[in-house]
Chain A
Amino acid sequence: DAEITQSPRHKITETGRQVTLACHQTWNHNNMFWYRQDLGHGLRLIHYSYGVHDTNKGEVSDGYSVSRSNTEDLPLTLESAASSQTSVYFCASSVQPYNTEAFFGQGTRLTVV
């Protein structure tokens, strides 16, 4: 069955280190998204992509970057991890042009110490 997977599921890293969270989908969806979920803020959009070599900033993109070299993967990189980036990160993908039905991964819990 087609799916979307995130790795690692849990990560502890130190302040200042570069961290990359992986997201891989097998639906061949053009649209992919990264969100973070925090207490009191719900899901906030970090970056998104509508196809290979396309990347766009979301509402909380500072300190994060993404690249889209193929359809299946959208890795999220924290250039220099900060304690404020401790969160649960969700990746999602969608095939519709309107993106109402997005399929989410299981999430990655990142702790920056």
Chain B
Amino acid sequence: GESVGLHLPTLSVQEGDNSIINCAYSNSASDYFIWYKQESGKGPQFIIDIRSNMDKRQGQRVTVLLNKTVKHLSLQIAATQPGDSAVYFCAETDSSYKLIFGSGTRLLVRP
């Protein structure tokens, strides 16, 4: 598999703690906002999405929050595990439903 060593902001958390990864977006017209996880040597993997008419959505151990007022998206991971260590990307779909990726954050989980 492939990956690139991106110069990314890094969030370091203790195993078992909760993690919060943040993302700012610019396109107010986006219909969906999405979080992807990219492990070393692999392609990105879908985690969770949220439609623009919602402000919160929960999945298994993850919660996505959308604040349209300040154009902010966050991903909360409960009880972070070593397997959560990865780069996390926020993304959005534009009016033609192209999937556009934003900046990434590297999550490091300390044992």
Determine the chain B residues whose CB is within 8 A of the CB of A108 once the complex forms: 2
| Residue B15 is within 8 A (CB to CB) of chain A in the complex | no
Q: Which residues of chain A from 84 to 100 have any CB-CB distance to chain B below 8 Å in the complex? A: 88, 90, 92, 94, 97-100
Q: Which residues of chain B from 81 to 107 have any CB-CB distance to chain A below 8 Å in the complex? A: 89, 93, 96-104
How far in angstroms is the closest Cβ of chain B from A101? 4
Q: Which residues of chain A from 24 to 51 have any CB-CB distance to chain B below 8 Å in the complex? A: 33, 35, 37-40, 42-45, 48
**B99 pairs with A102, CB closer than 8 A:** yes
**A101 pairs with B42, CB closer than 8 A:** no
| Residue A58 is within 8 A (CB to CB) of chain B in the complex | yes
Other-chain residue from B5, B41, B49, B98 in contact with A58 (beta carbon distance below 8 A): B98
How many chain B residues touch the partner (CB < 8 A)? 28
**A88 pairs with B99, CB closer than 8 A:** no
User: Measured between alpha carbons, how far is A56 from B94 in the docked complex, in Å?
Assistant: 14
User: Measured between alpha carbons, how far is A103 from B46 in the docked complex, in Å?
Assistant: 8
**A39 pairs with B6, CB closer than 8 A:** yes
A contact face: mostly helix, strand, loop, or mixed: strand
**B1 pairs with A98, CB closer than 8 A:** no
How many chain A residues touch the partner (CB < 8 A)? 32
User: Measured between alpha carbons, how far is A99 from B92 in the docked complex, in Å?
Assistant: 9
**A43 pairs with B3, CB closer than 8 A:** no
User: Measured between alpha carbons, how far is A37 from B6 in the docked complex, in Å?
Assistant: 9
Which residues of B pack against A, CB within 8 Å? 1-7, 31-32, 34, 41-46, 49, 89, 93, 96-104
